Chains A and B, each alone.
Chain A
């Protein structure tokens, strides 16, 4: 027998050797690669906006530094209005959706009604923002479906009234459209957070002390839930302040919102306007950062007041009067989206549809056949970009999670912030700079840059969706498989991935839905060469051809919805004889 050196050094060395085999080099590099794919474009885009904003864009013949861009930005007549709109729509949409989600959960969690809302959640989530916005426009416009349903019986009108509803100067219809889309998102995040919080016990305890349902929720459960959904709320705030496609469809046009104006400047044939757009991008970033700071301050103040309120012992039973209101608002936001989709669907097959008629005279597939060619091309581009970006996101995410698993360490709070960063930095703040950056590299056109830009937004959602089920997997399965002689790679491919098929497919469906819904990355990075269902649909918004919008809006929704349907059906089909994998 060999002489044995002291135990600890042997173990340390052998551990290192064993681990080197367990975590191959490519797997060690994947987390860094993922961060690069996700944050590289954001960093390059922000950096790419700074120089042009200060008058330096040699590619277009501008040598800075100068303040010309800022002078022109602040010289623009709409700057005050645009700034105000960004702030009001952002705060109103965030407050509105957070209030609806909080009150509906407080008033109705664990009831049959809440179960219905939960079932409507997946389809509502998968509806792209643009399609939802079009649908709402089709409902509330002066010649929209609602007015048609009540005319002429209730209104006495035989022609559409001359009022500005869609595109109102206060951005209210745009805010409503945002709320309808953000309520399902925040509700999903709240439900996920409830899995981490012992809500039922806290609620029962408070109710046994005589607290009303809503007060018990607000005082005992909400603080814990809010701590978990803080980052998603920041995403909603940043998004609502800087959204472009919803603003083009439902927002005011004279002046437009700041983000819409940035995109207009970017597409101006006069290259000098790119400098102004860059300055606008930095202003938009500043506005979002300022709003987030303000929101954080408000969180702190509400928290301070709330601890006193909760400790004050008031049973708050009158608050239960908010239950019907909450139900009405949540139902309204869900119905607005669903009825809007129905309106899109009817317009897509409408023959002649005169104003006060509730339904068209005749139905026909003419609009679909007329747009068949354009639709086919758009579906091709949409599928190519969505499938590539999602496949890359899934590979990177699985790699990161597997590296984390084999190293036995989970990612910390800081990494979670990094994951949310691309969702919080406004798209209009870094995509113009990214386009300028790619222009300098000569890679500003074509499908590959678009896929890379989509990956920035697809990756965080895929990671957030897959992370929890991946970590909840019973790791003893891996020990059992290894004890049977399975290498780590075989454990991953033959045991873990098949067992996690359902969450993998759901993560893929979410990735595809996110990619399908992207407007700005496709528009700005594709240089007009990549036409997806979303860019085509939004491009139709100014023309007002409702039949064409109906066709493209519905196709866009189906493209996002189909993967969710497959994700639900495939495991049931593949594992039909495997009871252990259901429920």
Chain B
């Protein structure tokens, strides 16, 4: 069975009108970029992948992760990490609390050590007890990435994940995310409206048009 994320004859309709149709395989470490103007259904496709599609939409097709059919699974059993354009760190938890949220198992000491190591890995050593609202935008983006990775996803979804960052931080954050995905052999599906994102990803590009 093929390793990676497979979008098998995926088609999403709203009121009988076809919004999106994709039939692609994303091998581990590769980035599939989905491009198109806003309102074309890029985020709808991601909602289908995460299993959070609103009931108004009709979807057909399957999502396979390393050959396993995800389609019947609820969102929390799919092992798909997702990053949005906002970091969406939980405002009521500390930085360490956010990282711990997705971390499975382990004793208290092990968890604490894992979180400390993860913070060090993204250059934020010692910031665990901080309120996420007091971090800079770039720091928050790194915490969000690390939070997603600690939940051990088997694929990564990016929903305009870099569009809120300024040009300089954008390139650095992109490099970090793509580099991590390659290092961990994660297939990536990235939704973006920015060509630079797609070019930096280096993978295949699917263009959605309004009358797709």
Contacts and interface: CB of A to CB of B under 8 A. Distances in A.
A476 B60 contact: no
Among A8, A487, A495, A580, max chain B CB count under 10 A is at: A580
Interface stretch (A110-118, A122-130, A200-208, A477-485): A477-485
A409 B55 CA distance: 8
Contacts of A407: 55
Interface string A1-42: 100100110110110011001100000000000000000000
B72 A18 contact: yes
Interface string A50-75: 00000000000000000000000000
Contact of B76 (A17, A477, A485): A485
Given A10-B62, A21-B74, A580-B133, A477 B55 contact: no
B151 A22 contact: no
A131 B158 CA distance: 57
Nearest to B129: A577
Contacts of A1: 1, 67
A496 to B, nearest CB: 10
B90 A18 contact: no
Interface in B26-70: 47, 50-52, 54-56, 58-62, 67
Interface in B92-150: 92, 94, 101-102, 104, 131-134, 147-148
A578 B95 CA distance: 11
A10 B148 CA distance: 30
Contacts of B84: 476, 479-480
Interface in B64-94: 67, 71-82, 84, 86, 88-92, 94
B102 A484 contact: yes
A14 B71 contact: yes
Contacts of A501: 92
A4 B1 CA distance: 15
Contact of A485 (B55, B86, B104): B104
Among B9, B74, B75, B89, max chain A CB count under 10 A is at: B75
Contacts of B61: 7, 11
A499 B91 contact: yes
B153 interface: yes
B75 A494 contact: no
Contact of A18 (B73, B81, B131, B133): B73
Contacts of B104: 485
A474 B148 CA distance: 18
Nearest to A409: B55
Given A8-B60, A498-B92, A581-B92, A484 B101 contact: yes
A480 B80 CA distance: 10
Given A14-B72, A483-B75, A577 B81 contact: no
B76 A487 contact: yes
Contacts of B11: 7
Contacts of B73: 18
Contacts of A308: none
Contacts of B81: 483-484
A485 B151 contact: yes
Given A483-B148, A487-B76, A579-B134, A11 B91 contact: no
A295 interface: no
Contacts of A577: 94, 131
Task: Classify the interface of chain A: helix, strand, loop or mixed.
Answer: helix
A544 B73 CA distance: 69
A487 to B, nearest CB: 5
A408 interface: yes
B101 A486 contact: yes
Among B52, B73, B77, B157, max chain A CB count under 10 A is at: B52
A11 B59 contact: yes
Given A21-B74, A486-B76, A7 B62 contact: yes
Among B86, B92, B157, max chain A CB count under 10 A is at: B92
A486 B147 CA distance: 13
Contacts of B132: 580
Contacts of B94: 577
A368 interface: no
A478 B82 CA distance: 11
A420 interface: no
Contact of A10 (B1, B52, B56, B71): B71
Interface in A534-583: 575, 577-581
A14 B54 CA distance: 15
Nearest to A21: B74
B102 A580 contact: no
A480 to B, nearest CB: 5
Nearest to A1: B1
B60 A18 contact: no
A482 B71 contact: no
B82 A480 contact: yes
A402 to B, nearest CB: 15
Contacts of A8: 58, 60
A488 interface: yes
A18 B77 CA distance: 11
A201 B96 CA distance: 43
A579 B92 CA distance: 9
Which 6 pairs of residues, A with B, have the shortest CB-CB distance?
A580-B91, A484-B102, A14-B72, A482-B75, A579-B133, A580-B133
26 contacts: A4-B62, A11-B60, A11-B71, A13-B72, A14-B72, A18-B51, A408-B54, A408-B55, A409-B55, A477-B90, A478-B52, A479-B47, A479-B52, A480-B84, A482-B50, A483-B75, A483-B76, A483-B151, A484-B81, A485-B79, A486-B101, A488-B76, A495-B90, A498-B92, A499-B90, A499-B92
Interface of B: 1, 9, 11, 47, 50-52, 54-56, 58-62, 67, 71-82, 84, 86, 88-92, 94, 101-102, 104, 131-134, 147-148, 151, 153, 157
Given A1-B67, A482-B76, A484-B81, 17 more contacts: A7-B61, A7-B62, A8-B60, A11-B60, A14-B72, A18-B51, A18-B72, A18-B73, A479-B52, A479-B82, A483-B81, A495-B92, A499-B92, A577-B131, A580-B132, A581-B91, A581-B92
